[in-house]
Amino acid sequence: MTRRGRYYTASEAVPKADYNGRVLPVQSSAFSAIMWSMRVLAIAPTGFFADYGCHVRILGQLRALQALGYEVRLVTYPVGSDVPGLSTVRPPWPLTRRLAVGSSYRKLLLDLLLAPTATWVGLRFRPQLIHGYLHEGVLIGWVLARRLGIPLTADYQGSLTAEMLDHRFLSPRSPMLPLLRRLERWIDTRPAALFPSSLQAAQRLRHVAQERIHPLADSVDPEVFAPAPPDSALRDRLGLDPDRPLVVYLGLLAPYQGIDWLLHAIAAPPLRGHKAQFLIMGFPHVQHYRGMARRLGIADRVRFTGAVPYELAPRYLALGDIAVAPKLSATEGSGKLLPYMSMALPVVASDIPVHRQYLGDAGVYVSPGDEQALAEALAETCRRLPDLRRRAFELRRRVEEKYTWHHAAKAMAEVFQTLVVERGTGPG
């Protein structure tokens, strides 16, 4: 029996919550029709929560749906950190609380644990819709959605097999690659609706009926990530010089994210000997990249922080004068751009389609992998900082107009409710 949900009309104010569950000032709903709260089961086969882009997208979407009145239950791996206010269920796993980022054989075992846990939660929670993250989550969700007779939707952040290749978990010559690609394409066609994170990601879904595709860009909370004066105590603790321009990076540290390229660019002319300093924030492989910086002779100008708690990220980004986004992979989204933009930081980025989508004409673009070009672009951006700082406020306006979690949740809710009505499982 379907439990009646709470209704909001188009004239009512919709409550909004921040990442810690605190209620913020209300915003009026832009829904043109009556909307109701809904029970949504989210399945995320990852070590949620950790401080990087995939998890930020999951958190932002689910928080924003809660702010619209949705009742959300998340099933995820037994590793990671719980988030206040987000109901999370994990299978038992006494062996470790840590999990490497990217593809691994251990995740196959965790998926086997996740499937019965999701079923147990689904049979008791009685969701009206299942929303899957990552291909494994979509596969588990499809089995459960068929059993419950409810719609399945999916978040699509990129290709499963492309990620395996990017993380070097799979060789391009592996005999398993064609089989995994066929499985991936089959999984892509299971959901009634997919939300790709970029136009580039949407183009990879040509094998899916286009009426099922609903592009949904990454987002950010501009009230959390807002321009602010630099914290001098934090700057001193990090050993940064207030009289030298600071270039910041926040995200995963891996070759496909362009970190090797960035470090070699810092060591190349015209950045060699330049007064610019660099703050590289994120994980994993911190010691590996510290060693690379020493070997390149740039350790005195590069600071590695390791993982930065998401709630502290605005303080760290506020230290920066310029942000850099050197991502090389063109198969994934690039959610790290949104905090940069929301903080009104000039952005030097690799010239890939997803960066063009977010930055438009306000970004500084560099051909991916070109060390000399990246060095020249960063040096020139330091020289033109006064002009580019004014231009960076155009990026913040783009965020406020298009890329907030509130915008994302409304788009998701409209699709969810259409599917539930079609199935006849709406509030009764």
Tens of pLDDT, residue by residue over 243-256, are 999 999 999 999 99
- Region 173-194: mean pLDDT is 93
Least confident interval from 11-25, 46-60, 133-147: 11-25
Structure tokens at 139: 């596969």
Q: What whole-number distance in Å separates Cα of residue 213 and Cα of residue 69? A: 25
User: Which tens digits make up the pLDDT trace of 17-36?
Assistant: 333 333 333 333 444 344 56
Q: What's the pLDDT score for residue 145?
A: 98
Q: What is the rounded average pLDDT of the residues 5-26?
A: 34
Q: Is the pLDDT of residue 15 over 50?
A: no
Rounded-to-integer distance, Cα 134 and Cα 143, Å = 15
Among residues 378, 358, 362, the alpha carbon closest in space to that of 370 is found at 378
pLDDT at 100: 60
Q: For residue 125, what pLDDT band results from cuts at 50, 70 and 90?
A: very high
pLDDT in tens, 350-366: 999 999 999 999 999 99
**Mean pLDDT of the 268-291 span:** 95
Whether the predicted pLDDT of 226 surpasses 80: yes
Q: Which of 97-106, 167-176, 346-355, 402-411 has the lowest mean pLDDT?
A: 97-106
Pairing of strands 7-8, 35-36: antiparallel
Whether the predicted pLDDT of 297 surpasses 80: yes
Residue 11 has pLDDT above 60, yes or no: no
Enclosing H/E stretch for 194 = strand 193-196
- For the stretch 271-306, what's the b/e string if a residue is b when 16 or more beta carbons lie within 10 angstroms of its beta carbon? beebebbbbbbbbbbeeebbebbeeeebeebbbbbe
Q: Which residue has the higher pLDDT, 166 or 302?
A: 302
What's the average model confidence in pLDDT over 194-204?
90
The pLDDT, as a whole number, for residue 175 is 84
Question: Is the bond preceding residue 25 a cis peptide, omega within 30 degrees?
Answer: no
Give the per-residue pLDDT at 103.
Answer: 59
Higher pLDDT, residue 354 or 37? 354
Three-state DSSP string of 51-104: CCHHHHHHHHHHHHHHHCCCEEEEEECCCCCCCCCCEEECCCCCCCCCCCCCCC
Q: Is the pTM of this model over 0.85?
A: no
% of the chain with per-residue pLDDT over 90: 73
- Closest alpha carbon to 343 in 244, 222, 249: 222
pLDDT given for residue 161 in this prediction: 81
Of the listed ranges 15-29, 111-125, 325-339, the least confidently predicted one is 15-29
For position 424, what pLDDT does the model report?
A: 72
pLDDT interval class at 93 (50, 70, 90): confident
**Rg of the chain (C-alpha set):** 22
Q: What is the mean pLDDT of residues 411-422?
A: 95
Token pair 């993982």: residue? 307
Q: What is the mean pLDDT of residues 49-66?
A: 92
Higher-pLDDT residue of 4 and 294 is: 294
Q: How confident is the model over 52-69, as a mean pLDDT? A: 94
pLDDT band at 423 (very low <50, low <70, confident <90, very high): confident
pLDDT of residue 51: 81
Confidence of residue 37 (pLDDT cuts 50, 70, 90): confident
**Average pLDDT over every residue of 271-282:** 95
Q: Read off the pLDDT of each residue in 336-359 and give the average, rounded to a whole number.
A: 95
Strand 23-28 versus strand 13-17 pairing type: antiparallel
Res 27: pLDDT: 38
Residues in the chain: 428
Stronger pLDDT, 238 or 15, i.e. the higher one: 238
Give the pLDDT mean for 366-390: 95
pLDDT, averaged across the chain: 88
**Residue 69 in this model has a pLDDT that exceeds 60:** yes
